[in-house]
Each structure stands twice: as structure tokens, then as C-alpha cells.
Amino acid sequence: MKPLSRDLAALGNAGLKLLDAIEKEQAPAPAFVAEQTREITRMEKPAAELTLAATRPVKLLLKGGKK
């Protein structure tokens, strides 16, 4: 799997885990939030003249929907 495909899949998985936590009214584990925040920061850097638009909604979910 190519790096961009892996990153997009990882974002999707993180987003689903966050939505599941929200649905269950549970806070995500601090370690999960820290790891995903680091990964999103890395993913937001342009690669091959492309940025992943999916970083923004997952980033918002990590912040509990706060901008």
C-alpha cells in the first residue's frame, strides 16, 4: 500500500474510533489523542504536491468538535 493510501486509511480508522467514542459518550484515551495529533500534524505536510483533506475533520473530532 502506498504511503498516501496508508495515511488515508489510518485517518478513516481514527475518525471511526472517535465517532464511536462520541456515540458512547466516552472520551478517547489521552495516548490515542496524542498519537493521532502527531500523525495528523505529519500528514498535513504536503507530500507529492498533495495534502489529505481528511485531516481536518478528524482533527476536529480529536478536539471534541471545537475549532
* Predicted pLDDT of residue 16: 96
> Residue 2, Cβ neighbours under 10 Å: how many?
8
Q: Which domain holds residue 45?
A: 3-62
Single pTM value for the model: 0.72
* Predicted pLDDT of residue 55: 86
Residue 32 exposed, middle or buried by CB count within 10 Å (0-12, 13-18, 19+): middle
Q: Please report whether residue 24 resides in a domain.
A: yes
* Predicted pLDDT of residue 30: 95
What are 2-40's pLDDT values in tens digits?
Answer: 788 899 999 999 999 999 999 999 999 999 999 999 999
What total number of domains does the chain contain?
Answer: 1
Q: Please report whether residue 67 resides in a domain.
A: no
